[in-house]
Amino acid sequence: MITMLRIDGRLIHGQVIAGFSGRVGANMIMVINDAAAKNAFQKNLMKMAIPAGTALEVLSVEESLVKLNTDAFLQKKILVLVKSPIDLVALIEKGLVIEKVNVGGVINDGAKIKLTKEVMATEEEMVAWKKLNELGLKMELQWESNAIVTDFNNVIARS
């Protein structure tokens, strides 16, 4: 089952991910990203950077929805990483049930709309953020695992 779902434009980012993974006691990190799932080299880079003893899965949106519902994966404690709110909207629309999301540094290519110091959005990402807010998903902005938490629903509601 998912113990934490984090949106981070950098996906696996060395020490930041180690901090969150330790805090939530994850024994698996699952990166859900269609492009990374097809890129063997990027997968190898990710594998090098995760904490020892943690399993890694790099899956497309479609693959992740299937695997998350298998017995083997329901027994794991999974830290899920997605790159953009657009991917999370897609996951939810395809049936993922989630109540809370942790938001990290989200500055993806072409992002021009500044939401906070840590988060900038493209037009499409802005639509997705608003959609996540409307769905009632609780969104907490936290740069790294020891940083203070900012109410990201408020940030989106105000922008």
Binding site for other proteins (CB under 8 A): 9-10, 12-15, 41-42, 45, 48-49, 107-111, 114, 117, 120
Give the C-alpha separation, 125 to 133, whole Å: 12
CB of 136 to other proteins, least distance (A): 29
Under DSSP, the state recorded for 36 is: H
Which is closer to other proteins, CB of 108 or CB of 153?
Answer: 108
CB of 159 to other proteins, least distance (A): 17
Q: Cα 79 from chain centroid? A: 8
CB of 17 to other proteins, least distance (A): 8
Which is closer to other proteins, CB of 18 or CB of 139?
Answer: 18
Which is closer to other proteins, CB of 15 or CB of 70?
Answer: 15
Q: 74-97 burial, b if ≥16 CB within 10 A, otherwise e?
A: eebebbbbbbbbbbbbbbbeeebe
Q: Which of 148, 120, 16, 65 is nearest to 129 (CA)?
A: 120
Which is closer to other proteins, CB of 27 or CB of 108?
Answer: 108
Give the DSSP per-residue string, 42-92.
Answer: HHHHHHHHSPTT-EEEEE-HHHHHHHHTSHHHHTS-EEEEES-HHHHHHHH
**Residues 5, 9, 12, 13: which is the catalytic one?**
13
CB of 158 to other proteins, least distance (A): 20
13 counts as catalytic? yes
What is the set of active-site residues? Answer: 13
